[in-house]
Structure 1
Amino acid sequence: MDFSIHVAKVVRIGSFELWITESMINSWIICGVLILIALIVRNAIKNPQKVPEGVQNVVEFLVDSLDNFAETTMGKHGRKFGSFYGSMIIYILLCNLSGLFLGPNIGAPVAGEPKVLIDFMRPPTADFAVTFALAMITFTMVQGFAIKEKGTFTWLKGLTEPMWPLTPLNVIGELANPISLSFRLFGNILGGTIIMGLYYNLPWFALIGIPVALHAYFDIFAGVLQAFIFVMLSMTFVASAMD
């Protein structure tokens, strides 16, 4: 069995190499699906009705729920973050759930075949590069909005509280947030991917019926839960930085 991240193509620009991985390709596919759905929905509610019905009713309910969730979690600042974190949770959720349709990569390269095999069978969030990039968005927002709301001097002063000898610990604590965020999401999704890969490598008679329950837990339950936790913690970090 092979659980490594495969490289689809290496683009060389002078001495610089850009590796196009399967995680990037899967992410682009999911982004493409989301953009297509958004365009279809936009076309369906091009002329919104005063009394919503059909697609407009569903969209208004979804947007209102995400805005209320952001406001409940982040307080007075929340509503303006609703669209951003709504997009993030939908993206992460689809990445996590993609294991239902894509599954783990099973089987090592066969002799005589190309060494680089493209496997569209791995959730993007099972790649630490993807989850770390998402966590760095949160880290940048935390520091950026803290400076915007408090000012640079007050932000720097906050790193020295409650007493200046604790400044290194405060800095380490800030740097630890994106690491813990990214590892939590990555570890849970990769763990499910590996377990499903090991299970599917069992003899055929051991696979009857049971994969449904395993997919329900590792892909649906864990996928939804981890998307919610990641976004919830991100919102909490940003809100705390702005207080």
Structure 2
Amino acid sequence: MNGPKIYFTIPLFGGIGITQTTVSSFVVMLLLCIAAVVLGSNLQKRPSRRQVLVEKGVTMLYDMVESTMGKHNSYWTPYIGALFLSSICGSFIGMTGIFRSSTADLSTTVTWALMTSFICWGCSIKRNGVGGWLKGFTEPIVVMTPMNLVSEIAQPISMAFRHFGNIAGGSVLTSLVYSALATVSAAVLGLVGKSVIVGVLVLTVGAALLYSGVKTKKLVRKIFGIVFAVTGALSLLGLTGVPYLEVGVPGILSLYFDIFSGGVQALVFSLLTMVYVGNACPPPEEA
């Protein structure tokens, strides 16, 4: 699996490469802006179903931010919401087959992680001043200064690599499964297609299993019946190059790696951001 492809280069500042990740990120940003305008327009006192769902989602987001960061930090909700939606949509856009997942590029997650770190440092400086912020690296004892520095550096690195690793790893594994299933499809069809008798036999067994599965409502028999029937039919037609086994199995993997893992990583990244920023912005009485 290769990195993001460079479409073209803008001749500024030594060359700015426009990659697949750049295009995917701008597409996600454009879609989110359009959704915000459409969902936020024509608000009524007697809300429609669409408005009720939007208000419920916004309320849930504010409740989550306030419960994690405190009510005094509720003004961070738009940022957290934008971060979560950019992350989950950036992962889901790879399922289109046209765009590459923006979160499968380390530069994307590193940028988000650095933004979180800069926000934390800015909040600490705003509350304690530059001297108070620097003093935090030498407490409780001077010997701890290297460990504190390592902790500050490791925070964005761990956030970035966790998100990137899960999405990119899922993409690599799915690609390997696609390649393996294509190879198996060609091998099976080549083996069955050597004899017309074997092809007819496989087709007959598949039809029998499919009929039995429909009659008894057994899903396993239906699946094997379809596989055997398609194998026999393609071998008799001489279509040995059709990767028919790629249908279905990668879809199941996609449910986990693209949908479940993408959603979980977006939630985890947002929660970690809320925790780190919340620690840097304690309630006024604690500050």
**TM-score (normalised: structure 2):** 0.73
What's the secondary structure of 2:15's corresponding residue?
A: strand
* 2:193 pairs with 1:215: no
Q: What does residue 161 of structure 1 align with?
A: 139
CA distance in 1, matches of 2:247, 2:81: 37
The aligned amino acid for 1:175 is I
- Give the equivalent residue in structure 1 for 2:119: 141
Cα distance in 1 for partners of 2:159, 2:82 equals: 18
Which position in structure 2 is the counterpart of 1:206? Answer: 245
Task: Decide which structure has the larger Cα Rg and report it.
Answer: 2
Structure 1: segments with no counterpart, 5+ residues:
103-119
Picking from 39, 42, 52, the partner of 1:41 is 39
Give the helix-richer structure, 1 or 2: 2
Equivalent position of 2:15 in the other structure: 17
Of 67, 78, 81, 1:83 maps to 78
Ranked by relative contact order (alpha carbons within 8 Å, sequence separation 6 or more), the top structure is 1
Choose 200-209 or 224-233, whichever is displaced more: 200-209
TM-score (normalised: structure 1): 0.86
Q: CA deviation at 1:218?
A: 0.2
1:181 to 2:176 alignment: no
Q: Deviations over 1:204-229 (max 9, x none)?
A: 24323212210110011100000000
Tell whether 2:51 aligns with 1:56: yes
Match of residue 109, structure 2, among 131, 143, 149: 131
Indicate the residue corresponding to 1:233 in structure 2: 272
Q: CA RMSD in A?
A: 1.5
Runs of 5+ consecutive residues of structure 2 not aligned to the other structure: 183-242, 283-287
Query: Which one-letter code corresponds to 1:72 in the other structure?
Result: S
Q: Which amino acid aligns with 2:66?
A: E
CA contact (8 A) 1:67 1:78 kept: no
* Cα contact 1:135–1:182 (8 A) shared by 2: yes
Q: Note the alpha carbon deviations across 1:141-189, whole angstroms, 9 max, x for none.
A: 0100111123322222111111111112101111111111110000000
Q: How far 1:3 sits from its partner (Å)? A: 2.4
In 1: Cα distance, 2:128 partner to 2:16 partner: 39
